[in-house]
Structure 1
Amino acid sequence: MDRLAALLDHFHLAASVLNAGPLCYSARHPPQEGTGFLHILTRGTMDLTLADGPPRRFGAPVLILLAAGDAHHLGPGPEGAETLCGSFRFGAGNICPIYRALPSMLVTPLDRLSGMAGLLALMQAEMREERCGRQAALDRLCELLVIQLLRYLMDAGEVESGLLAGMAHPKLVKALIALHDRPQADWTLNGLASEAGMSRARFASQFRDTLGQPPAEYLAQYRLGLAKSLLRTGVPLDAIAGRVGYSSPSALAKMFRRHAGCSPREWRRADAQAGVE
């Protein structure tokens, strides 16, 4: 039972390492909607300032996740800093259910991330040696780091509500995997409850309490995000409707207007224009 397979297949993960090694100067990161940041302090001290708060100093190895796309400022402390800093995005940006499920900020000491020790050691070895393909290797390793962080958030119970909490629930996860694997299915509340092995009433209540929204609303948002991801990759509109559970392009367009405020074609034009800019 792979909780992440369908999500990572439908919403392409791309990561890029921004700094690997000494943090020699202060770095300002402007707001980037739909983008998450990972800042890992491996040695020394580091100062982090968010747009709406005072600076915070970190003096021990730590991983900082910033998933709200907010502006922030990162700089070395008085002892200098060695860091691994990267950014990541999922297909369809902030409509991706994984991205929306991440905490806006998470600070975790590295010694708590024992399951990532091997990967972090490999990344540190890569960053300290100027070898061919270094940037590409670090970027791929950063993608793996994001996946391992998702595992950690689910397995350690770090997130109390939202999709990751649902994926950690022993029964809800069965319905979520089925929904993610087969978005084109004619899902009903009874059908999802059956996948979870729960009564209809118990499933609806537990789903709403855990994910913060009713099953039908989550399903509509998931299908919308998947449709946007497919539009972005150039899949024809006629093919998208059936793949995300709508009987026709017009039914898909109706859902798009209700949830996105525009037609699929209008969204694709605006998204392409934003990419050019």
Structure 2
Amino acid sequence: MDRLTTLMERFQLSVRAAGPGEANLIALADPSGEPVRLLYSSCDDAPAQPHDRVMWAARVDWSGCCNPLIAALPGLVDYDIADKPEARNLLRLMRDEADAQRCGAQSVINRLGEVLMVRLLRHQIREGATEPGLLAGLSDPRLSRAIVAMHDHPGRLWSNADLAEVAGLSLSRFAEVFAAEVGETPIGYLRRWRLILAHQDLSRGDRVDAVARRYAYNSPEGFSRAFRKAYGVAPMSLRMAAA
């Protein structure tokens, strides 16, 4: 079971070198100049850091608040990479590409940045989350099965009973644990995930009725009401803006 691939594929990631005031990804170095610590701010504010220890700084843009992974992260992720040679090598390569400015450098930095963010997210999932949210749910091996099923098959007519079976829990226990770990009901999370995907599809110009069917809404009217409530704009308006 892959807890991250669908999420990674759905949200475009861009990484570029940035000054300390703009950067939200900061690599700190030890006295020898080797990267040993990574700070990532999921908020707009740049993380505070000792300027003489910055090995490299970058700006990561990853679909902002629409990305449930970003919304689930703590305001500041502090990732110790002193004993993680792969992560340290990624940072060296990203810095070298940014400094050399060879052809294709930005594409390379984006690809390496995606690998680095996957490693950071894996670390967060392994560590678990202290606050309810998506990461806490993905950290639970039972709940993660149900969450991945919703991510991978958002158009299926899921019921709480179906999801509880996927998780291997009784219906009452599943509902209780999901609400405690994720902070909302399973069907509430599913609805929110469907609307996030619908927003992406409409932004590409997909038809409203097709998007409604894709995400298991009984009618375009019902979908439009739910979408307007979530985003404050009619889905047709968003589609027309994308045209």
Same fold (TM over 0.5): yes
Q: 1:239 aligns with which of 198, 210, 219?
A: 210
SS in 2 for 1:111: coil
With 178-187 and 260-269 compared, the bigger mean Cα shift is at 260-269
- How far 1:138 moved relative to its partner? 1.3
With normalisation by structure 1, the TM-score equals: 0.76
Query: What is the Cα deviation at residue 118 of structure 1?
Result: 3.8
Residue 187 of structure 1 pairs with residue 158 of structure 2: yes
SS in structure 1 opposite 2:128?
coil
Aligned to 2:13: 14
Q: CA deviation at 1:40?
A: 1.5
Query: Quick one: which amino acid aligns to residue 255 of structure 1?
Result: A
Higher strand share: 1
State the one-letter code of the partner of 2:111: R
Instruction: Give the alignment of 1:1-277 within 5 angstroms.
Output: 1-9=1-9, 11-19=10-18, 27-29=20-22, 37-42=24-29, 61-69=36-44, 71-72=45-46, 77=51, 79=52, 81-90=54-63, 93-111=64-82, 113=84, 116-127=87-98, 129-157=100-128, 160-268=131-239
- For this pair of structures, how many residues does the alignment match? 242
- C-alpha spacing 1:196/1:114, structure 2 compared with 1 (3 Å): farther
**What's the secondary structure of 1:240's corresponding residue?**
helix
Q: Report if aligned partners of 2:129, 2:135 keep a CA contact under 8 Å in 1.
A: no
TM-score normalised by L of structure 2: 0.86
* Aligned mates of 2:49, 2:122 — CA distance in 1: 29
Cα distance change on mapping 1:220 and 1:80 into 2, 3 Å: closer
Deviation digits for residues 147-178 of structure 1 (CA, Å, limit 9, x no counterpart): 22112211232555311121121111111111
Q: CA RMSD in A?
A: 2.9
**Higher relative contact order at CA 8 Å, sep ≥6: structure 1 or structure 2?**
1
Q: Summarize the Cα distance change of 1:120–1:18 in structure 2 as closer, same or farther, 3 Å threshold.
A: closer
8 Å CA contact 2:204–2:239 kept in 1: the answer is no
Unaligned runs of 5+ in 1: 30-35, 45-59, 273-277
Q: Which ranges of structure 2 fall in alignment gaps of 5 or more residues?
A: none
- C-alpha separation in 2, matches of 1:111 and 1:132: 31
Percentage of matched positions with identical amino acids: 33
- Structure 1 residues 75 and 180: alpha-carbon distance in aligned structure 2, compared to 1, 3 A threshold: closer
Q: Give the whole-Å Cα distance in 2 for the aligned partners of 1:227 and 1:175.
A: 20
- State the 1:139 CA deviation: 2.2
> Does structure 1 conserve the Cα–Cα contact (< 8 Å) formed by 2:206 and 2:239?
no
Asked whether the 8 Å contact 1:43–1:81 carries over to 2, the reply is no
